[in-house]
Structure 1
Amino acid sequence: MPSEDSTKTAKLYRMMMPDHTCPYGLKSKHLLEKNGYEIEDHHLKTREETDAFMQEHDVSTTPQTFIGGERIGGYEELRIHFGLDKPKDEQSDTSYRPVIAIFSVAFLMALGLSWYAFETILTLQAFQWFIAISMCFLAVQKLQDIESFSTMFLNYDLLAKRWVPYGKVYPYGEAFAGIAMTASALLWLAAPVAIIIGGIGAVSVIKAVYVDKRELKCACVGGNSNVPLGFISLTENIMMLGMGIWMLFRIF
């Protein structure tokens, strides 16, 4: 890590044009201030000025930060410099953050609904709402780019491999089942849908991950996710399968 002078000053060069303020420049400035640096804030106010700066320092992007006379780099390099991120060659290409965010918010929403309806959060209905809302959130992630999702889904889903359109039908089925279960309506249809897609999904994940030992990305939060296929994916499908069976049991 480059040495820092005792006065803790940094030079920051960032784009600050009439029609464009670089967001990474603002983030770099905030990060430097947060770490106690006095900043010489140099604004690149025109495209020509920006191009001349990049040519002079042999860089292809801005912002650029200099500490102690040494160039640190852009915002990502600045985060590495302060120990907030690992060096790029040590960073993992997988992340559980999307599913953690979805399940956490769905769980809190379910508790909120339970409190509103029953004035307590410890209810069976809260657990049912949690699963149903999670299904809705996961479906939305897939529906944002259904083409990308269906392509990634084909890597492991057994039914999609036999009937390709299933990859585009799946998110709609998941959304329908989640919405119906949230409202406790049309359960005679929603429950079988959840059982079918949850059951096929669970078997597909077990085969791909635990039998074939394949290392794949999960399409559960969309086709552009970095979530690894494995326990989280299996949990999602088992939740749908279990919820479908429970709802079917409630009907009869």
Structure 2
Amino acid sequence: MPKDTNQAAGKAVLYRMVMEDHLCPYGLKSKDLLEREGYEVEDHHLTTREETDAFKAEHNVSTTPQTFISGTRIGGYDALREHFGKEVKEADETTYQPVIAIFSVAFLMALGLSWAFYGSILTLRAFEWFIAISMCFLAVQKLKDIEGFSTMFLNYDLLAQRWVRYGYIYPFGEAIAGVLMVAGALVWISAPIALVIGTIGAVSVFKAVYIDGRELKCACVGGGSNVPLGFVSLTENLMMIFMGVWMPARAIGWI
């Protein structure tokens, strides 16, 4: 057990793995959190596997790091966050963070491009770039794990349920359409792709969520995501439908 002289208020004892071939990231996070909370940390390094296993056996724990405050074992990093009243997300907890990150960065990139090319952020091209870049980012998320995406996609996409290979084609179609729209090139290729996959996707999401009332995870940011199926995925598809109509209309001078 940690020494009593080091367990007074304002002090904490931390045991973490620090080996030649492994530096525990959660140990570093625990140390940082304790210091930010105003604790003086007595930092014990577990430098070998044997030393680590012996520590676990002695304290009847299965993981490290372990933090002790005032003689009481708090536990690992998540337990430490809970101890300080900070949010701890469950593994399957729904979140919109990936989508917020994608759309926020895409928006800022679009404004940056507009400023670089036109000297102003208030341009129609900035709006087009925002949607096109968002499509590219979302496609990359799907392409990172196309097997996982296609499996999740099958839960709700009407065409994929009839033709499984569509789940593997969809991310490439979204990526191609997005890249071409960023470039403003080959509109007669990008627009039909965006219009078709966007329409199928919008109908599928609307049926699954708003007609059937199913609670599913959205494959829009790739397989294994915890983003709820609904508004976000519907918005993604509606944006593609819009671009599928908007870009040809601009190209022929209707707008």
TM normalised by structure 1 equals 0.95
> 1:137 corresponds to which residue?
137
Cα displacement string for residues 42-79 of structure 1 (whole angstroms, at most 9, x for unaligned residues): 11111000000001111111000011111111111111
Q: Which amino acid aligns with 1:12?
A: L
Measure the CA separation in 2 of the matches of 1:179 and 1:242. Answer: 16
Measure the CA separation in 1 of the matches of 2:160 and 2:142. Answer: 15
Measure the CA separation in 2 of the matches of 1:87 and 1:249. Answer: 45
Q: Which amino acid aligns with 2:202?
A: A
Measure the CA separation in 2 of the matches of 1:138 and 1:87. Answer: 23
> 1:102 corresponds to which residue?
102
Measure the CA separation in 2 of the matches of 1:239 and 1:57. Answer: 55
**Does structure 1 retain, via aligned residues, the 8 Å contact 2:92–2:226?**
no
Measure the CA separation in 2 of the matches of 1:122 and 1:250. Answer: 17
Q: Which amino acid aligns with 2:240?
A: M
Cα displacement string for residues 174-218 of structure 1 (whole angstroms, at most 9, x for unaligned residues): 000000000011110100000000011000000000000000000
Q: Which amino acid aligns with 2:199?
A: G
> 2:18 corresponds to which residue?
16
Q: Which amino acid aligns with 2:221?
A: V
**Does structure 2 retain, via aligned residues, the 8 Å contact 1:62–1:74?**
yes
Where 2:12 maps in the other structure, the secondary structure is strand
> 1:123 corresponds to which residue?
123
Identity %: 71
Where 1:237 maps in the other structure, the secondary structure is helix
Unaligned ranges ≥5, structure 1: none
Measure the CA separation in 1 of the matches of 2:201 and 2:248. Answer: 19
User: How far is the alpha carbon of 1:249 from its aligned partner?
Assistant: 1.2
> 2:173 corresponds to which residue?
173
> 1:49 corresponds to which residue?
51
Q: Which amino acid aligns with 2:211?
A: V
Check if 1:222 corresponds to 2:215.
no
Q: Which amino acid aligns with 1:128?
A: E
Cα displacement string for residues 161-186 of structure 1 (whole angstroms, at most 9, x for unaligned residues): 11100000000000000000000111
Measure the CA separation in 1 of the matches of 2:137 and 2:36. Answer: 34
Cα displacement string for residues 108-158 of structure 1 (whole angstroms, at most 9, x for unaligned residues): 000000000111101110000000000000000000010000000000001
The equivalences for 1:231-250 within 5 A come to: 231-250=231-250
User: How far is the alpha carbon of 1:7 from its aligned partner?
Assistant: 3.1
Check if 1:93 corresponds to 2:97.
no
**Does structure 2 retain, via aligned residues, the 8 Å contact 1:188–1:251?**
no
What is the number of residues matched between the two proteins? 246
User: How far is the alpha carbon of 1:86 from its aligned partner?
Assistant: 4.7
Unaligned ranges ≥5, structure 2: 1-6
> 1:182 corresponds to which residue?
182
> 2:36 corresponds to which residue?
34
Q: Which amino acid aligns with 1:41?
A: D
Q: Which of 58, 61, 74 pairs up with 2:60?
A: 58
User: How far is the alpha carbon of 1:87 from its aligned partner?
Assistant: 8.0
The equivalences for 1:199-218 within 5 A come to: 199-218=199-218
**Does structure 2 retain, via aligned residues, the 8 Å contact 1:148–1:223?**
yes
Moved over 2 A (4+): none
Where 1:39 maps in the other structure, the secondary structure is strand
TM normalised by structure 2 equals 0.94
**Does structure 2 retain, via aligned residues, the 8 Å contact 1:80–1:87?**
no
Closer, same or farther in 2 for the Cα pair 1:86/1:21, shift >3 Å?
Answer: closer
Q: Which amino acid aligns with 1:8?
A: G
User: How far is the alpha carbon of 1:248 from its aligned partner?
Assistant: 1.9
